[in-house]
């Protein structure tokens, strides 16, 4: 009975892995010219993962000692399932247009999500590292899946810098083991707390190396260099998947490690994280203003949003901890929706992802233009969208903890960022229509996914209370 309870913790991950294997088998068995609902297999696996995660909700933390299915992990799993389902629903048009191998594409998405879910559930540094490598390898291949020069270059840059950051993270684990004699977070936390008044240099070295590893994965300055090139070279929808799902998993592990195991070292890491958060918000906003390519603009936007999430981590109060989870959901839906909109407007030979291509979009595709406007307003943090509520909680957490300077920087950079979001909206609604290659009509499934994203954005902006309460109850399970 105990084994069955422990086994239940990894059932959501197993559902996703099984669906990925099924996608690969379906691709291998598919005859030339035969149409197979491979995307449907992926959706079924994700639906199964979401259902099992919901059924596990509210139970006491269960797992194998290095993996735990507490409410915090399950909230992140459900966010990842939502991002994965939206990605799968938007993908058929991309696959058909670029002639991508559907089985490989969906399998990589699913295996990447399995690594992300494992990362959210891991309570051992080595398991976090293994999960990080699983998701990274899948995303590296997805970045270069079109096998074009720009995609291969983006994937290679991402791979090299990712390997470099993984080395930092692994060395951090080694030093953490030297401090505590274990890689389990609870053991590390107890040893660090016992030596809080007289920390060894090894603990500080481990702290710094782990911080570098996490900062790379969340695109924090100065470890953001890979982000614009990787996003620009990757297929547009893959860039959206990278910017949302990877960030959700990385911040889940970041939160669990730093606000739980390494909380006694807070006087050492809080000032460094303050500086990183401020630099990340400023650079992401200022450089984003200068971009004319929308994928690069959204790349710098994702850097700035990583800074806002770091503000919540620095605050580290109850509001800030729950704000991390709520913001990951809000940002995931809005940013993925924006990238999906760009993907739907592209053709095989023309990405149509520069600012001029969006001129007069409201006259050519009024529904898509309206959806894009909603997503951009949410990313800018304007009411009544979910982005406004997310930023409100983040900055409120900073003010409650006394980080007034960080809150002011966040508000000012949010105001500046509205400029490059509104610039796109002005082009869509006030500029004469541009002469661009006409994209294929979006499928009904893609339109439904776009509509669902818009509804979620408005719902979380108008009635966020229930989700915020769930986020607050979730973080209470690990602190």
Picking from 98-112, 137-151, 368-382, 386-400, which range would have the lowest pLDDT averaged per residue? 137-151
Instruction: Give the mean model confidence (pLDDT) for residues 107-123.
Output: 94
How confident is the model over 42-54, as pLDDT tens digits? 999 999 999 999 9
Confidence (pLDDT) at 3 = 45
Phi and psi at residue 443, to the nearest 5°: -70, 165
Is 62's pLDDT higher than 80?
no
Query: Pick from 177, 261, 323: which is nearest to 478 by CA?
Result: 261
- For range 110-114, the mean pLDDT: 96
Share of the chain above pLDDT 70, in %: 97
Q: Average the pLDDT over 66-92 and give the result.
A: 92
Least confident of 78-87, 359-368, 372-381: 359-368
Helical H runs in 290-403?
294-315, 318-345, 361-364, 366-380, 386-400
Vertex 237, ends 235 and 242: CA angle to 5°? 90
Mean pLDDT of all residues in 32-51: 87
215 band by pLDDT with thresholds 50, 70 and 90: very high
pLDDT tens-digit readout, 261-270: 888 888 889 9
pLDDT of residue 213: 92
pLDDT at 479 over 70: no
DSSP state of 2: H
3-state secondary structure of 354: strand
pLDDT at 50: 94
More confident call, 332 vs 196: 332
In this structure, what are the phi and psi dihedrals at residue 243, rounded to the nearest 5 degrees?
-70, -15
Phi, psi at 122, each rounded to 5°: -70, 135
Tell me how crowded residue 156 is: count the other CB atoms within 10 A of its CB: 16
**How would you class 435 by CB atoms within 10 Å of its CB: exposed for 0-12, middle for 13-18, buried for 19 or more?**
exposed
| Tokens 């800074």 sit on residue | 307
235-244 pLDDT per residue, tens: 889 999 999 9
Q: Is the omega angle on the peptide bond into residue 54 within 30 degrees of 0, that is, cis?
A: no
For Cα atoms 9, 14, 18, give the angle at the middle one, nearest 5 degrees: 170
DSSP track, 406-418: HHHHHHHHHHHHH
Cβ 364 vs Cβ 433: under 8 Å: yes
Tell me what the mean pLDDT of segment 355-380 comes to: 90
**What is d(CA 374, CA 252) in angstroms, rounded to the nearest whole number?**
27
Q: Going by C-beta distance under 8 Å and a sequence separation of 6 or more, which residues neighbour residue 225?
A: 161
User: What is the model's pLDDT at position 2?
Assistant: 44
Q: What is the mean pLDDT of the chain?
A: 89
Higher pLDDT pick, 341 / 196: 341
**Per-residue DSSP letter, 343:** H
Section 277-289 average pLDDT: 94
- Residue 190: pLDDT over 80: yes
233 pLDDT above the threshold of 50:
yes
Tell me phi and psi for residue 435, to 5 degrees.
-90, 100
Residue 436 has pLDDT above 90, yes or no: no
- Its pTM stands at 0.94
Q: How far is CA 420 from the centre of its chain?
A: 21
pLDDT tier for residue 61 given thresholds of 50, 70 and 90: low
Tell me the three state secondary structure of residue 349.
Answer: coil
> What secondary structure letter does DSSP report for 317?
S
DSSP, residue by residue, 108-172: HHHHHHHHHHHHHHB-BHHHHHHHHHHHHHHHHHHHTTT--HHHHHHHHHHHHHHHHHHHHHHHH
Indicate the DSSP class of residue 184. Answer: B
Contact 126, 145 (CB under 8 A): no
pLDDT higher than 60, residue 1 = no
SS3 of 443, please? coil
Q: Residue 334's pLDDT is what?
A: 93
Output phi, psi for 363, to 5 deg: -80, -30
- Give the relative orientation of helices 386-400 and 366-380 as an angle to the nearest 10 degrees: 0
| Paired residues of 354 in beta bridges | 293
Contact residues for 79 (Cβ-Cβ < 8 A; gap 6+): 248, 325, 328, 329, 332
Name the burial class of residue 1, with classes exposed (0-12), middle (13-18) and buried (19+) by CB atoms within 10 angstroms of its CB.
Answer: exposed
């Amino acid at each position: 009975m105990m084994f069955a309870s422990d086994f239940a913790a990894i059932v959501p991950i197993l559902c996703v892995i099984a669906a990925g294997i099924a996608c690969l088998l379906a691709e291998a068995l598919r005859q030339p010219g035969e149409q197979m609902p491979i995307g449907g297999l992926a959706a079924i696996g994700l639906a199964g993962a979401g259902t099992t995660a919901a059924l596990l909700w509210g139970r006491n933390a269960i797992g194998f000692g290095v993996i735990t299915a507490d409410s915090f992990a399950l909230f992140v799993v459900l966010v990842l399932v939502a991002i994965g389902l939206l990605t799968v629903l938007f993908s058929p048009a991309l696959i058909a247009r670029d002639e991508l191998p559907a089985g490989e594409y969906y399998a990589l998405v699913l295996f990447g999500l399995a690594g992300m879910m494992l990362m959210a559930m891991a309570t051992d540094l080595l398991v976090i590292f293994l999960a990080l490598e699983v998701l990274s390898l899948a995303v590296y291949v997805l970045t270069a899946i079109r096998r074009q020069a720009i995609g291969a270059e983006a994937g290679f840059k991402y791979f090299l810098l990712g390997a470099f950051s993984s080395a930092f993270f692994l060395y951090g684990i080694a030093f953490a083991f030297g401090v505590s004699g274990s890689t389990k977070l609870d053991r590390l936390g107890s040893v660090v707390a016992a030596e809080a008044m007289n920390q060894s240099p090894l603990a500080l070295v481990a702290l710094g190396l782990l911080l570098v590893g996490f900062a790379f994965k969340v695109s924090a300055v100065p470890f953001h260099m890979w982000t614009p090139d990787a996003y620009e070279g990757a297929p547009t929808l893959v860039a959206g998947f990278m910017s949302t799902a990877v960030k959700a998993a990385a911040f889940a592990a970041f939160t669990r490690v730093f606000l739980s195991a390494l909380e006694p070292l807070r006087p050492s890491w809080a000032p460094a994280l303050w500086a990183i958060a401020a630099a990340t918000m400023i650079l992401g906003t200022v450089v984003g203003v200068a971009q004319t390519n929308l994928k690069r603009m959204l790349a710098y936007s994702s850097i700035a949003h990583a800074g806002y999430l770091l503000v919540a981590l620095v605050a580290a109060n109850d509001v800030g901890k729950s704000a991390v989870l709520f913001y990951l959901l809000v940002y995931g839906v809005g940013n993925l929706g924006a990238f999906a909109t760009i993907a739907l407007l592209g053709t095989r030979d023309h990405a149509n992802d520069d600012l001029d291509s969006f001129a007069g979009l409201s006259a050519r595709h009024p529904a898509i233009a309206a959806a894009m406007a909603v997503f951009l307003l949410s990313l800018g943090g304007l009411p009544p969208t979910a982005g406004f509520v997310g930023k409100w909680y983040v900055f409120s957490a900073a003010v409650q903890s006394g980080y007034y300077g960080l809150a002011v920087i966040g508000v000012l950079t949010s105001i500046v960022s509205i400029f490059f979001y509104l610039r796109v909206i002005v082009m869509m609604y006030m500029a004469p229509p541009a002469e661009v290659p006409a994209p294929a009509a979006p499928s009904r499934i893609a339109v439904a996914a776009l509509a669902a994203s818009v509804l979620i954005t408005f719902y979380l902006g108008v009635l966020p209370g229930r989700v915020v309460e769930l986020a607050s109850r979730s973080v209470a399970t690990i602190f």
